[in-house]
Structure formats: structure tokens, C-alpha cells
């Protein structure tokens, strides 16, 4: 096991990693920008190093400063969390060259699965179901021709990233020619990679993702699925596990398909394979995330497995600790139901970010409630980073119980001094379509 891990991140995920390290008996190093000097991850880590001013490119994305902090403090591994450098293969390579273990997959796997076009090629090679799509598109005319071949409408996507940037729904050849340059420019700005591809567009899909944990020694565990259909502009807002749309039979089938694919690929570490579910219930591979996900707690709640701890154990060359929990077919069936609401510092109507001083903060508690947060009363939410300030997670024996607990938890939560999206989550939880499980990625659009 590692002796000291530097956490190249901030906020709630940095705290989450610190907690896992503490239980493993591993010392931690926090890095922070100057505006995060009083952040909780700085307070709770064993050591802390300021790596630069507020802008992320001068601190949390500044690789030389992070490597220097690791060398100065004697860290032997780096955990990137999510966002920032977590899927940057070059950063992982630099860590290796500097004698630091990168807690994640190999740089080669990050490159293969991180590029959406090569990920589609890998999915095809390893037998994962795919939507009709294209390779990298040369230009707008080529894109229009390929879109006509696979059938309009299509989704135009950036090969090098996600989060909705560079994504366009295209319904005609003229629309493709008009929007292709715009999408390409967004991709260049967002990912420094202007490559685009397209795949058939599903009008009202569900977004279903499967959690995998691979030890790199021939074992690949599929730890169930998450429903992530509640989104705004392709950004997830509320997630749950399991999905009401996935039957036990489909769950076991997909676990076998995904496990076989991951074994063939030789992948190591945590990973999430994301799928679109059409109205007929068919699943099609969309992309893979080679890191811990924001929504990982709902899987932890229904499996009883600490995903971050297992990720660290595998990076250290140790075997997963949950072998006694596996069924005969090497799958883990969910126990009960869990829901996560992302609490953001933003206006609940306009979604405009709302940084500022939190004057009062009271997280909810009680049976079946977990809160992962990096803020406190008196903390000033910076304007330079993601607006996520807390994740409220509930668990119940049934989905109805998990919903009831989330409603109760959100009614108890107090955050003053800034605006949050708590009321939006309360509206979602009260909506008849959500209660009945009638979900799609256009849920918020339909809700109005």
C-alpha cells in the first residue's frame, strides 16, 4: 500500500479521497489555489501545499506545480479525482516518469477510451452494442454525406471530450453544413481537439451507465448500473441506482457483456461505461469515463463497496476486498435503492452560477442520508470552479422510500448567503413522471 497520496483536486471529491486514505492508514497531501486556502480538504489533509492563484490553469491544471508539490512532500502516488487532470493521459505519463503512481488506468487506456472515436472502435472490437455512427469527419460536406448514410437525425459530437460541448443535434444536411464549424470551434476551445464524429440520434433516450472495477490481472467486476437521465444541457443533476428500466435479466446480461469486454481490453482501475437506452429497451454504448464519477456514491450505497478505497487498492497492486460478496456469476445485485441530488451554487431558474459567502450551512441527516460536501458556514464559494457544493444521497429499501428520504433531507438542508438549486430538485422529486419512473434525457425540458 502507498505511504502518502497527493490529491490533485479540490472540494468534495478531495475530501472523499482523504477519508478513504485515512481508513487505509495512508497519509494525504492536499493541493490548493490561494482562494481555497481555507477549504475543508486543506484542513483535513495531513499536509497542504499552495500551487498557485485562483485560475485553474495556474493551479489545479498546472502540472509542474502539482509534481513539485508531490516531490516536496514525499508523496508516492497521485489521485486525480474527477475533472481537472483526471482523464489527462499526458499527466498520468508525467507522473510515471517522475516516479509517482497514478491512481487510475494506464495512459494508453486513457487515450483509447478518452477519445470518443477510438472508444467506439474499442467497443466494436470487444462486442459492446453500438449506435450507427462514423469515424472522424473531414469537413462539413463529408459530415453531411455520412449523416445521410446513417440516417437523420444525428448527434454531432466532439471526439476529445464531453459535457455537452461541441454537441449538436442535426436534422438536415443544410443544418450540418451550418453547425459543423461552430461545433468544431467549441471542440477546439474546450478540448484542444477539433475532431468530430456523429452517430444516430435517439429522440428520448434514457442515460444508463455501468460501473466497472478491473484489477488488471484478468478480473473485471460490473457493480450494477446507474440511471442518469435527469440532465440539463447534457450535465447530470440527479442520479439513482439501480435503474427502474433495467430488469434483473438485462442487468445480468449486460454485466456479462461488459465484463468480457473489459477482460479482453486488459483495462485496470475504475471505469464507467455509458449507454443510451432507446424506447424499446435496447442499450447502445456511448462513451467510457476512465475515472471515479461524481455519482459513484449511489453505487456504493446499494452494493456496500467503497469504490475509492478499491480504486486505491488496485493501483497499489492489491486485490479487491469484496470477493465474498460476489454471486456465482461474478455479479453484485443491488440492495435497495439510492438517489443522489447534486446541490449547485446557482440560480434554480436561470442556472446562472451564484458564488459568494455561505452565511449558514446545515446539512441534513437521519436514517439513510449521506452528504458529501466541501463547504461550511463562513466558506466563500469561489467563482473560478464548478458550482457543485454538495451531494445529498439517500438510501431506502425501495425506490419510494429513497424518494421520501430525499424529500425529507432537502427540506432540512439550509444554505444561506448564496442561491442553490435545492428547489429545482424538490420540483423534480414531486413530479408524477419522476415518481413513476418515466424518465428520459429530455425530462427537464418536458417538466418546463
| pLDDT surpassing 70 at residue 324 | no
**In this structure, is the dihedral angle defined by the CA atoms of residues 353, 208, 274 and 211, taken in order, positive or negative?**
positive
How does pLDDT run across 76-91, given as a tens digit for each residue? 999 999 999 999 999 9
Top-level CATH class of 4-103? Answer: alpha beta
Looking at residues 24-48, what average pLDDT do you find?
Answer: 98
Residue ranges of the chain that CATH labels 3.40.50.20:
4-103
Q: Does 57 have pLDDT greater than 60? A: yes
Q: What is the DSSP string of 1-50?
A: --SEEEE---HHHHHHHHHHHHHHT-EEEEEEEGGGTT-HHHHHSSEEEE
Which ranges in the chain are annotated with CATH 3.30.470.20? 206-447
Query: Interhelix angle for 89-97 vs 107-114, to 10°?
Result: 180
Residue 332 confidence (pLDDT): 75
The dihedrals phi and psi of 282, each to the nearest 5 degrees, come to -75, 145
Whether domain 206-447 has CATH 3.30.470.20: the reply is: yes
In tens, the pLDDT along 126-144 reads: 999 999 999 999 999 999 9
Q: d(Cα 306, Cα 313) in Å, to the nearest integer? A: 11
| Highest CATH level, class, for 132-200 | alpha beta
DSSP letter (8 states) at residue 442 = T
- Catalytic member of 226, 291, 405, 419: 291
C-alpha cell at 66: 502539482
Annotated catalytic residue 291:
yes
> What percent of the chain is modeled with pLDDT above 70?
97
pLDDT of residue 325: 65
pLDDT tier at 62, thresholds 50, 70, 90: very high
pLDDT at 328 over 60: no
What average pLDDT does range 431-447 have in this prediction? 96
Residues of the chain with CATH 3.30.1490.20: 132-200
- Phi first, then psi, for residue 203 (nearest 5°) are -65, -50
Q: pTM of the full predicted structure?
A: 0.93
Helix 307-315 to helix 296-303 angle, to the nearest 10 degrees?
100
Averaged pLDDT score across all residues of the chain: 95
Indicate whether 17 pLDDT > 90. Answer: yes
Amino acid at each position: 500500500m502507498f505511504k502518502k497520496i497527493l490529491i490533485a483536486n479540490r472540494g468534495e471529491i478531495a475530501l472523499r479521497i482523504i477519508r478513504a486514505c485515512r481508513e487505509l492508514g495512508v497519509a494525504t497531501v492536499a493541493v490548493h489555489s490561494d482562494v481555497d486556502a481555507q477549504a475543508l480538504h486543506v484542513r483535513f489533509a495531513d499536509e497542504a501545499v499552495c500551487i498557485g492563484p485562483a485560475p485553474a490553469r495556474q493551479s489545479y491544471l498546472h502540472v509542474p506545480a502539482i509534481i513539485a508539490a508531490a516531490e516536496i512532500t514525499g508523496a508516492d502516488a497521485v489521485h486525480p479525482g474527477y475533472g481537472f487532470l483526471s482523464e489527462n493521459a499526458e499527466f498520468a505519463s508525467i507522473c510515471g516518469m517522475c516516479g509517482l503512481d497514478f491512481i487510475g488506468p494506464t495512459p494508453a487506456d486513457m487515450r483509447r477510451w478518452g477519445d470518443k472515436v477510438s472508444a467506439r472502435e474499442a467497443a466494436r472490437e470487444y462486442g459492446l452494442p453500438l449506435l450507427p455512427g462514423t469515424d472522424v469527419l473531414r469537413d462539413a460536406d463529408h459530415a453531411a454525406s455520412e449523416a445521410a448514410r446513417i440516417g437523420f437525425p444525428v448527434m454531432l459530437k466532439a471526439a476529445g471530450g464531453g459535457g455537452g460541448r461541441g454537441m449538436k443535434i442535426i436534422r438536415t444536411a443544410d443544418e450540418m453544413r451550418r453547425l459543423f464549424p461552430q461545433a468544431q470551434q467549441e471542440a477546439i476551445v474546450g478540448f484542444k481537439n477539433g475532431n468530430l464524429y456523429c452517430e444516430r440520434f435517439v429522440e428520448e433516450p434514457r442515460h444508463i451507465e455501468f460501473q466497472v472495477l478491473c484489477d488488471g490481472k484478468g478480473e473485471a467486476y460490473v457493480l450494477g448500473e446507474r440511471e442518469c437521465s435527469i440532465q440539463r444541457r447534457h450535465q447530470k443533476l440527479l442520479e439513482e441506482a439501480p435503474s427502474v428500466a433495467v430488469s434483473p435479466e438485462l442487468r445480468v446480461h449486460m454485466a456479462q457483456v461488459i465484463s468480457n469486454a473489459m477482460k479482453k481490453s486488459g483495462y485496470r482501475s475504475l471505469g464507467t461505461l455509458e449507454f443510451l437506452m432507446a424506447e424499446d429497451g435496447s442499450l447502445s454504448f456511448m462513451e467510457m469515463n476512465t475515472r471515479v464519477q461524481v455519482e459513484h456514491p449511489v453505487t456504493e450505497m446499494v452494493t456496500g463497496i467503497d469504490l475509492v478505497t478499491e480504486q486505491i487498492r488496485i493501483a497499489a497492486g492489491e486485490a479487491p476486498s469484496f470477493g465474498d460478496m460476489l454471486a456465482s456469476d461474478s455479479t453484485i445485485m443491488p440492495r435497495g435503492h439510492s438517489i443522489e441530488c447534486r446541490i449547485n451554487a446557482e440560480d434554480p431558474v436561470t442556472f446562472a452560477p451564484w458564488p459568494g459567502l455561505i452565511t449558514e450551512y446545515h446539512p441534513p441527516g437521519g436514517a439513510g442520508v449521506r452528504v458529501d460536501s466541501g463547504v461550511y458556514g463562513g466558506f466563500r464559494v469561489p467563482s473560478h470552479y464548478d458550482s457543485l457544493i454538495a451531494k445529498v444521497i439517500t438510501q431506502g429499501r425501495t425506490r419510494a422510500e429513497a424518494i421520501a428520504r430525499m424529500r425529507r433531507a432537502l427540506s432540512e438542508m439550509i444554505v444561506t448567503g448564496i442561491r442553490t438549486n435545492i428547489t429545482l430538485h424538490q420540483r423534480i422529486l414531486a413530479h408524477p413522471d419522476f415518481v413513476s419512473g418515466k424518465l428520459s434525457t429530455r425530462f427537464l425540458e418536458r417538466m418546463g
